[in-house]
Chains A and B, each alone.
Chain A
Amino acid sequence: MSRALFSVWSGDPVVLIDAPPGAGKTSLLVDLLVELVTRTDLQIIVATPTRNGAYDVAGRLATELKAATVGAKKQPKVVFRVRGANPPAGAFTTARPSEDRYVTVRTIASCAAAKNPVKCDLMVFDEAYQATFADVSAAADNAAQVVMIGDPGQIGPVVTVKTTMWDQMRAAPHRRAPEVFAGFEDKTLLRLGSSYRLGQETVDAIAPLYDFPFDSKRPDRHLTRRDGTVVPELDHVLVDEAAQTADLPMLRVVATQAAAFVGTSLHQTEPDGTVTVERLRERDVAVVVPHNVQQATVAALLGSMGMDGITVGTADSLQGGQWHAVVALDPLVGHTSLSEHQLAEGRLCVMASRHMSSLVWVTVPDWERRLTAYTEESPTRVANGIAVRRGLTATGGR
């Protein structure tokens, strides 16, 4: 963090920070902003690819800013500017530019679409690999400095149009933003090397997706069931091979698995060695699915079980989030002929890395056979897909 703060304070125009899931990218962003908001008068905007991401950052930033400025006469504000959404606890919808010290959190799309490009001294992007160069460059058009934080292994931008005209271009509009900015002359590259969210088992499982090594520095923590048994870090459930993507009994399994986490006991070891135990609440649990239609159905199922506090979303929309317990639905479920969507490594990575304590991976018994059929077509993705799933299903199993 202090290295990033040094770079910003030195006026480095482009600062890029790459790291694996749970390495503390968003934490670094929050810490950096707390320093900058309290010690400088720079005008700062934080921009994220998704609305969920903006909400998450604004909430974390509001909490940390408050903690850092207790007792101060005037507390800096976090302004959450996302159309049609309420701000998280501690954040505001507006500030008075003449009186308040504040930092604004928005989505990249809204910054890029603004009629007058938003002026600021510094623009900080979280999950920057999920955005295109076109969007980020437009969003930051009136920013003097940019910091881009992201994970090269997670989901990239959704590009649904043809791009033939620009495929050979270095600064192509549809490329992932940090890739283009990495080609700038005056840029600073930083990297974080450990995951604080994921345990070693999960780090080992997703390692094949990265070309740099990293380890787990997660403090000891685990869940126990009512009968006292320990919930494994990685567990998996098999559903019917014939299940279609929107199959109700299959999605009911997913919803039930998520609901079963509520009320389990979370044991955490603090840095000073004390152990705390608390019950898992609905908001500590999330369901990550590959398709919108599954998201709608699982949310509806959980709603009717009285569990609407459990987060449900697609991998694309929950990237960057973390929960103690996560149920993830393998993109292979419901598909025997596979396309880009099922083979994508970024999606697999996001789904396998949202949990702080436990993950239940819901898949089909013949997942390996489904993948192997595509070995010739995309050898690396199939090999990595198999390696990661072997890791995810190595222990547990029901």
Chain B
Amino acid sequence: MAPVTGEHGTLDPAHIPGMTPLTTTEQVARIAAARRAHAKAAGRPVRRTRQRGMLLSAPVRWLLFLGTGGKLMASEFVSDDTAHGKVTFDDLTVPVPTLTPGAPVDFGLLERIMTQAHDPEAKAALHHAETMFGPATGVAAVFADRASLNQARKIAASAVRAAKKAPNSFEVGRVSSILEYRGMLAASGRLPVLTEALASAYWLPSGANPDNVEEWADSFGFTGSTAHRVVALLVAANTGPVNAKYAEALIGSERYGTISACFPGPASAAKAFRHLNTVADAAQALADCDALLVDLNTVTGAASKLTLMQGKSTAGSHTYTVSEGFKMKAGAKVILFNAGAPNIAPCDCTIKEVGIDPVSDEVWVKVTAVTDQAKSMVIDAQRLRHPLYMAAAPYLPFGAPPTTTGRWMSRETTRPQRSDMPIDVALAEAPELV
């Protein structure tokens, strides 16, 4: 944009409101503000993602929250035959179990809860919302908000300090490690934070505080007992489809990463770190291919909208113009997804070529659909005039990590035996370099 020259001299366009194009961050903030204003007008939260906001990998047993005076409290969901009614939200109906009154959490109780939630024997499986409180191996403990998670971390950390040399210091350390590791995770199936899960799935009306559980319940209009309100929020956070492939990678890595994080030493830390990255990548992939987040994602370039260019398709490849902000390379592995038919899993493709149209200045990409699934997705989208989107394919190593020898995990190393050194090599010991 050229500077504007007027009778008062030259004005820097950067300082004229409404004239500078918005930066990505500003555009994202604008969309978020508009959505929250829309929710306010609607009088209740509106969907932010098509997918569910919480990925439970076990049924919920515990609710941890801050009581008056900032004390950490725990309530237990007890599945019994007593009828407490049901909660229905969208298409989902869930019976409300008994919720015990909040008990103050000391280290002993915290240890019990964490041991149940991260029992290394308990299998992690993507848990469906319908059986949210059913019996299963392993349990989930839900933190009402980030502040209650941080309070739990504090309780565990001070127990670690007190137990420094005590015989049970490993067990004490384990509780703290589980919570510290959880504090770094992008999302969790065993120790989810309710407000964060809700904020992922919904736009809260503007003015309300997304870190506050009560405000979430009020804005949804949930009434009744605490148990009813909490269950309703859990159900709200859990409705919606989920991309099972990425969700399973996430909860699997959380599980293995948490186990690694509980052991001391750099080898375990390295493993835990690698799983931590997989959890983040999986969470990112879930967001990148969500059908409702596409407009935000096209602004940031995380996803691109594809428009088929007529007459340029061949048997195995299709050419599309892409939305602004496109940032991928020829050769990149990508996922295609149909935002109009969000129950169809995304499929893998490769970018063959990238170019720019000399007349329209539009960037185009040529993608090859290799699998049958990808081919039919492309054809269906064309036929039904559904918008196709593209995002970067995540790299998600799956399952148990490779077993390592830990060769470089100690500062003391062993020297390998090498064959006799030739004389010319031996002479080089006189250093030529500093």
Using CB atoms and an 8 Å cutoff, list the residues of chain A in contact with chain B: 2-3, 5-6, 8-14, 39-40, 84-85, 109, 112-117, 121, 132-138, 140-146, 160-166, 169, 171-174, 181, 183-186, 190-193, 240-242, 244-246, 248, 291-293, 295-297, 299-301, 303-304, 334-337
Contacts and interface: CB of A to CB of B under 8 A. Distances in A.
A295 B270 contact: no
Contact of B331 (A84, A165, A190, A292): A84
B425 A164 contact: no
A184 B353 CA distance: 46
A293 B12 CA distance: 26
Contact of A300 (B14, B270, B354, B432): B354
20 contacts: A2-B427, A14-B413, A84-B350, A117-B402, A121-B416, A140-B408, A141-B405, A141-B407, A165-B269, A181-B408, A191-B434, A241-B14, A242-B14, A242-B20, A292-B301, A293-B325, A297-B326, A297-B363, A300-B355, A304-B357
B408 A9 contact: no
A292 B413 contact: no
B171 interface: no
A300 B322 CA distance: 12
B415 A12 contact: yes
Smallest CB-CB A-B distances: 7 pairs: A2-B428, A173-B273, A292-B327, A300-B356, A171-B266, A293-B327, A144-B416
Contacts of A138: 270, 274, 402, 404
B426 interface: yes
Nearest to A133: B270
A38 to B, nearest CB: 12
Contact of B428 (A6, A11, A192): A6
B314 interface: no
A98 B237 CA distance: 58
Contacts of B267: 137
Given A133-B266, A140-B407, A193-B433, 9 more contacts: A6-B425, A117-B402, A136-B408, A166-B273, A173-B266, A292-B301, A296-B329, A304-B355, A304-B356
A303 B352 CA distance: 13
A191 B354 CA distance: 41
A9 B417 CA distance: 9
Contacts of A12: 415
Interface string B392-434: 0001010000101111110111111111011001111101111
Given A133-B266, A161-B186, A303 B413 contact: no
A301 B356 contact: yes
Nearest to B406: A141
Nearest to B407: A141
A197 to B, nearest CB: 18
Contacts of B353: 303
A132 B355 CA distance: 34
Contacts of B429: 3, 6
Given A3-B428, A161-B277, A185 B184 contact: no
A248 B184 contact: no
A289 B407 CA distance: 38
A242 B13 contact: yes
B324 interface: yes
Contacts of A6: 421, 425-426, 428-429
Nearest to B153: A164
A11 B354 contact: no
A10 B20 CA distance: 63
Interface in B231-277: 261, 266-267, 269-274, 276-277
Nearest to A244: B21
Nearest to A85: B331
Contacts of A242: 1, 13-14, 20-21
A125 to B, nearest CB: 12
A135 to B, nearest CB: 8
Contacts of B290: none
B325 A143 contact: no
Nearest to B418: A11
Contacts of B329: 292, 295-296, 299
A138 B186 CA distance: 23
A115 B16 CA distance: 57
B180 interface: yes
B370 to A, nearest CB: 12
Contacts of A297: 326, 356, 363
Interface in B341-355: 350, 353-355
